[in-house]
Structure 1
Amino acid sequence: MSIVGMGGLGKTTLAKSVYNDPRVKRSFDIFAWVIISQEYTILEILKRISSEVSTTSSRDTIIDLAHAISEKLKKGKYLIVLDDVWRENVWDQLQKVFPDVDNGSRVIITTRFLNVAKIADPTVQPHELRLLNEKESWELFLLKVFPRQDIETCCPVYLVDFAHQLIQRCRGLPLALVVLGGLMSTKPKSQDAWQKVVESMKWQFVEGGEKCLKILALSYNDLPYYLKSCFLYFGCFREDMAIPIKTLIRWWSAEGFLPTKNGNTTEEIGLGCLEELAQRCLIQLTGRKYDGSAKYCRIHDLLRDMCISEAKENRYLEIYKNDTVDCAAVPNAARRLIIFNEFETLTYSNSKLRGLFYYGGMHNPLTFKALNGQLSGFKLLRVLNLNLYMREFPSEIKSLIHLRYLRLLADNMKEVPSCIGHLHNLQTFIVGGGELVNISDSLWTIESLKHVELFMISLVNPPNMPNIVLKNLQTLKGLRAGSWIRYMLQNFTNLRKLNIKEVNNDHANALYVSLQKLGRLASLTIQGNGIPSDNVMTAFSNQHCLKKVYLDGKLNCKQLPYNDVFPQQLVKLVLCLSQLEQDPMATLEKLPCLKYLKLGAGSYTGKQMICSATGFPQLLFLEVKGCDELEKWKIEKKAMLCLKSLELISCRKLKVIPEGLKNVSLELLLMKNMPEELKSRIEENTGEDWYKIQHVPNISFKYYD
């Protein structure tokens, strides 16, 4: 099934509305959404499909992945969306992966090109999207200008004529209407303000497939200076990429783009900038978390094209392709260099470079040789993001004294040497992959450090340096527990996120003393075998900012302490491998602010759980996984009244869902690897327990391979 139309017409929006419709979700067993885009490889596409449908393959080759995916899809009725297909041969290369077993499975393709749709299936007429008519355009425009207001009455009479003139310029193209509506939502609702915008659009409308480019440029030109710099940074990411908000804000901060506001953190200011760009409909905030906050953002490919065009014109960035720089007429003068593909040699010099981004991925570590001898030439570099694997720390980095953001991937990199201490302005230091054994003590002398994150098999144990304070440190992740907890941790008084590995009972007293002094801690993760829960949880009572806790490992107690030991403002709690013998719900249901609760594998070994009346007053998300002995679960009336999402995973003995679910306003019920008996009892219309969940719009029952 193909959806065809020009850029900005709403192909992806329509496909998403179908894909996410509750009736569709109930009609299929296996789902996958894969973005193809202009630059792709079949291997990468197959990896994405494999990830979406949860297959495993012995090797990451085209043949092995295709076979594994095909075998998985034969086991159920599947719905696959291939979004933004540009080339005719994509379907030829992929169609053998999708088996036709005559069970109603479907593949949906969105594309700008009619010939692509006809190649995929010449016997079926594609669904060609049309431009919006005048009435539809009027409604969409006003929805963006006056959100959450009545369409019939929201527009003042004195603005109606101006609104019609603006709408006519969009010629029915949804993206143009949305972006222009976003722009006008930021303007005063006065005749003068609207007339100025109308007069700025006296140009003739551009025909063809890029009808809204001038409207997009108009919205960009209207941005405040600092937001223009922030917006152009979206050109540093791959097309259609889900952009991590945390990373983006750290890059903005490293570049000095964010304005200063008294009383606001860098993260809060950055989120404010993103919200303003989203209000103007220049970006989308996606990947919403349980509390409604966004984790990722995206940019439409037409907006990205405009962004890159503007960035090149202003020498803001260059894109390196196949040993050539795709840049404007003035070479080697841009402030940022983006490299999307693997390369062997890099012939490039630019003493004004501020940012270097390499997205190569998991390639041969020798590819780093392409940068050898050149890094030291980028003296003004502030952001260095190298997504390639290297065997040793590049010593040239020591000369980049203006560097504020450094991210590396390690491949058998054992050590970060003392030269790291030369980076006196470093704010963010991230190392992923490999097995890091030692980080030089000099890292902990960099007073500007805000974020240290180690995503790897880390054996790093910081030194005992009691005089080190690091007042700016906010994030500390991936360090192994040791005596540094006693001598250093309590000095990091501005710490907001802490993640410690390999904790055991020997660290009990040190953790108790140090945690009590971290009054701004908002997120705490402790992993280990024998977590000293008594000491840790007692220290909680002094925490007034702590909202997220993750305890991964056996606790040295059989039941959770009374409710008043936990911080009352706790919003998110994850317990894994805790081996609790007493029902944890008796304590957890009394936490007044708890919105997210995950009981992971091995967290509870008992046979029964009870959620009492009025318990969990704000809980939105609940996951119960790997509670192997759980047989009975009771939910009393008025318990979990706000619950929206429930996931039950690998609870092998839970064969009956709770009666009380019929009173819970669930929007999603997901069950994975649950007993067949439970599945038969909740069969739609015929199962004896169907009445308990018939009100839930999105129900899914899955099995792992």
Structure 2
Amino acid sequence: MLVFDVIFNNGELGRHFDCLAWLSISQKFVVNNLLREILYSVKPDERNKKRTTRDDELTSELEEYLAQRRYLIVLDDVWEVDLWESLRKALPDGNYASRVLITTRIVDVARAADRNSTPYKLRHLDENESLTLLFQKANIPIGESGVQFRTDLNDVARQLTKMCAYLPLALIVLGSILSRRERTKNAWQRVHDTLDWHDEKAKRCSEVLLLSYVELPYHLKPCFLYFASFPEDHEISANHVIRMWIAEGFIPRDGRGNMEERAQNILDELLQRSLVQVIKKSWDGKCKTCRVHDLVRDMAVHEARQENFFTLFTKEDDDIQLSTQKVRRAMLQCSPPTNFGIHSKFARSLLLFEPYEYKLNFSGFRLLKVLSIVRVHFQENKFIDIIWLEGLIHLRYLGFRYCQLPLKFFSINFSYLKNLETVDFKGTDLSYASRIGTIYFFFKSIFLHSLWKVPSLRHVNFGYLLYGLPGRWSVPLRLASNEDHHKNIQKLKIGLFTARRCVKERWQNLKALLKQTKHLFFLHIVGDNHVPLLSEGTRDLSCHKTIQSLHLNGKWEDDLCVLNLEMLPTNLAKLTLFESGLNGDPMPVLERLQSLTILRLREYSFIGTKLTCSEGGFPRLQKLELIRLPHVSHWDIEKGAMPRLSHLKMIRLNCLQVLPELQNVPTLQNIVLDQDLYEISGRPDNQYKIRHILSVRQMKISGY
């Protein structure tokens, strides 16, 4: 599956399919979640919208969308025969050569999916392939032919691969262990002798995995075990788990760099040891989301229980009353009984995953540092006691991710939570917001004002919490501008929603706020349709050397519609402009930003007709998106421009009738085009411009 994963993600399949989706299926899957993930994969914009939870509505929406498209859906690691029947209706066969690929370890599952074909069985690796994989993971050269190995290590390496039963996962993890040992026969033989090989294949693999855990340095072990608290095959946000590590106290509060950087180093080491797998990477090349293999997770769960690191409650557990156990960390991954009560004097952490629409009676937990609740739909009369929540004075991490919260939630006074560092409401919505009018705005003001008074606050993610209202996901500037508690903030999305006469005052407030944020690296400023986004105040942005990612959403003042470097941070690595209305070509200015890696010009950010990229410009740019710039009719690319560009997206450039000189960018690997530009690229006079590009993919556009 690792090979197919690489093929799936390299962009080549985009030539043949309009829609692609890959889902990893756990043994305890929820059909509703799978339908939503398929929808998000084929319609990415839907991820930022409030979603229904009814299976039939999701099924109908998916069926309608996919009926006229050619799609490829991969269902990876299926365990239940009934899964395909649960999803079949949502995946129509419209005679467009669509495909659904199912991988499984159970022959009956494969046969049930298609009675008319014979399942394809993956063969085992042979000895040479196993040796190659082992030496690669051990960072030892194997020769150009792929079969020339270190003669002094050959014998012991062959013993190791044989004892691993040529299983890729065992070989990968074992190779990572050997990479930290001396490259001598005796050192490798000691690893061989450490393991108990006299058992079945699964046990052999488990022995290797256990050794990889035993050999972890002490400070890495709790961070690794924490991954086991997430459900099987769960796609884990790197930022999410890093902030939970910090709240738990796993990351030293003194040392080189800040805590987030030290936590990132720990995550990188776990990735290098092959205990954690990268799923997606962020714009700066760091891990964005990850997961652990189910066998690795099983080993971690076993070790966590042995060490009383956490207590995991699943559907298989008969007794899920926390009050009878002295648990240090409680992870609930099942739908509890209707009258389920949660109360403990000892727990430091409480994580709940998807117990839908049940009343949860909380009490105790006065020592909690982490409270994370995922996909719980609270009703007004079944919400957590606010007084209890405000009494958690040791709380450092508060998360309601992908939840549905009632108005009552906004009565919380965060000023009681003096140690709070992270507030995470990603994907969360406010129930019945449209029906409560001015009461909602009143509560929201108190809520945000008390939050910004917390001196220890480091991270705030509002998700959809302000859904459907001006400035969703953002903090109103008037509530955030006059407090002296923002020095630790690293990411900030802030809204400028005010009358035109107050613009100057608001920008002065923003300048004051930015001066307080000494560690700010992400800034997102949002305006509205009536007030120009930028004024003279933004010229000070160039002084903020810590800002690496900048997103400016809104129209600029008329006198600022020609870009200059004084408006931008000098160390900027990622820039997104949205509806800026720039008249002058921004490329001659932007190409002088020496650290710029990603550039997105979207939705009328430029309203001129010509773009020019000159020789030597954009020295580090790797990804460029030009989306809905309807007046651009010509784009010049000189030789030597954008020497590292690998990904290009061009959508809705309606006046562009000829492709730019893409042959001058030899590093370009992937292009995504809309239907019109895709047809233009297929003309004979344009073929020489894209001949060197690995993947030229058409994207069917909706919503523009």
Q: Same fold (TM over 0.5)?
A: yes
Gaps of 5+ in 2: 434-443, 468-472
Q: Give ranges in structure 1 of 5+ residues lacking alignment.
A: 1-11, 460-476
- Over 3 Å counting, the alpha-carbon distance change for 1:494 and 1:97 in structure 2 is closer
The DSSP-based 3-state class of the residue aligned with 1:533 is coil
- State the AA in 1 paired with 2:59: A
> What does the per-residue CA deviation read over 1:624-669, in whole Å, with 9 as the maximum and x for residues that have no partner?
1122322322222222221111112233333332134553422111
How many residues align structurally? 664
Report the CA distance shift for 1:173/1:689 in structure 2 as closer, same or farther (over 3 A): same
What is the identity, as a one-letter code, of the residue corresponding to 2:26?
A: S
State the TM-score, normalizing by the size of structure 2: 0.86
Match of 1:580 among 582, 590, 607: 582
Match for 1:370 among 357, 360, 364? 360
Distance 1:560 1:298, change over 3 A: farther
Deviation at 1:419?
5.0
CA distances 1:454-489 after superposition (whole Å, capped 9, x unpaired) = 334549xxxxxxxxxxxxxxxxx832011752x336
Equivalent residue of 1:594, what SS?
coil
Question: Deviation digits for residues 106-125 of structure 1, max 9, x if unmatched?
Answer: 22110001111111223322
SS of residue matched to 2:180:
coil
Q: Which residue, 164, 174, 183 being the options, matches 1:180?
A: 174
2:617 aligns with 615
Give, as a single letter, the amino acid of the residue that structure 2 aligns with 1:453: N
Contact kept? 2:533, 2:553, Cα under 8 Å: no
Q: 1:498 to 1:23 in 2, by over 3 A?
A: closer
Change over 3 Å in CA distance of 1:639–1:209 after alignment to 2: same
Q: Which residue of 2 aligns with 1:380?
A: 367
Distance in 2 between residues matched to 1:86 and 1:223, nearest whole Å: 31
Aligned match of 1:473: none
**Residue deviations 1:404-425, cap 9 Å, x none?**
1111356243665575333332
What residue number does 1:305 align with?
Answer: 298
Pairing partner for 1:37 from 4, 7, 26: 26
- Partner in structure 1 of residue 397 of structure 2: 405
One-letter code aligned to 1:535: E
The answer for the alignment partner of 1:221 in structure 2 is 214
Counterpart contact for 1:631–1:654, Cα < 8 Å: yes
Separation in 1, partners of 2:466, 2:53: 26
Matches within 5 A, 1:315-334: 315-322=308-315, 324=317, 332-334=325-327
C-alpha root-mean-square deviation of aligned residues, in Å? 3.2
Among residues 256, 259, 263, which one is paired with 2:256 in the alignment? 263
2:21 aligned counterpart, secondary structure: strand
SS in structure 1 of the partner of residue 134 of structure 2: helix
Structure 2: distance between partners of 1:323 and 1:105: 38
Q: Percent identity?
A: 31
Structure 1 SS opposite 2:281: coil
Q: CA–CA distance in 1 between the matches of 2:323 and 2:455?
A: 38
Kept in 2, the 8 Å contact 1:319–1:325? The answer is: no
**How much does 1:578 deviate?**
1.1
Post-superposition offset of 1:80: 1.6
CA–CA distance in structure 2, aligned partners of residues 441 and 77 of structure 1: 49
Q: Deviations over 1:574-629 (max 9, x none)?
A: 11121222222222122121111111212122222222232212111111112232
How far off its partner does 1:572 sit?
A: 0.6
Deviations 1:141-164 (A, max 9, x none): 110011677587997655444333
**Aligned partners of 1:698, 1:337: CA distance in 2, in Å?**
46
Tell me: CA distance 1:699–1:331, structure 2 relative to 1, closer, same or farther (3 Å): farther
Kindly provide the amino acid, as one letter, of the partner of residue 49 in structure 1: I
Counterparts in 2 of 1:5-44, with a 5 A limit?
12-20=1-9, 23-44=12-33
> What TM-score, normalized to structure 1?
0.86
Identify if the C-alpha distance between structure 1 residues 78 and 483 changes in structure 2 by more than 3 Å, giving closer, same or farther: closer
Counterpart of 1:488 in structure 2 is 483
Structure 1 residues 217 and 61: alpha-carbon distance in aligned structure 2, compared to 1, 3 A threshold: same
Change (3 A) 1:153 1:330: farther
Query: After superposition, where does 1:474-553 map in structure 2 within 5 Å?
Result: 478-482=474-478, 484-485=480-481, 487-488=482-483, 492-503=486-497, 505-506=503-504, 507-516=506-515, 518-529=517-528, 530-531=531-532, 533-553=534-554
- In structure 2, what residue type is equivalent to 1:219? S
Matched position secondary structure for 1:110: strand
Q: Does 1:450 align with 2:458?
A: yes
1:281 equivalent in structure 2: 274
Q: Give the structure 1 partner of residue 387 of structure 2.
A: 395
Per mean C-alpha deviation after superposition, the further-off stretch among 657-666 and 690-699 is: 657-666
> Once the 2 structures are TM-superposed, how far is the Cα of residue 233 of structure 1 from its aligned partner?
0.6
Stretch deviating more after TM superposition (531-540 or 24-33): 531-540
Aligned partners of 1:544 and 1:154: how far apart in 2? 50
The question of 1:243 aligning with 2:223 is answered: no
CA contact 1:415–1:438 (8 Å) conserved in 2: no
- Deviations 1:257-280 (Å, cap 9, x if unpaired)? 124552221111111111221121
CA shift for structure 1 position 549: 1.0
Find the residue that maps to 1:597 and give its secondary structure.
strand
How many angstroms does 1:383 deviate by?
A: 0.6
2:429 corresponds in structure 1 to 433
Q: Deviations over 1:274-332 (max 9, x none)?
A: 12211211111231123321111211111111111222222222333359567899962
CA contact (8 A) 2:673 2:699 kept: yes
Residues 428-467 of structure 1: CA deviation (Å, up to 9, x unaligned): 22344326342275545543332233334549xxxxxxxx
Which moved further from structure 2: 337-346 or 415-424? Answer: 415-424
Contact 1:335 1:353 in 2 (8 A): yes
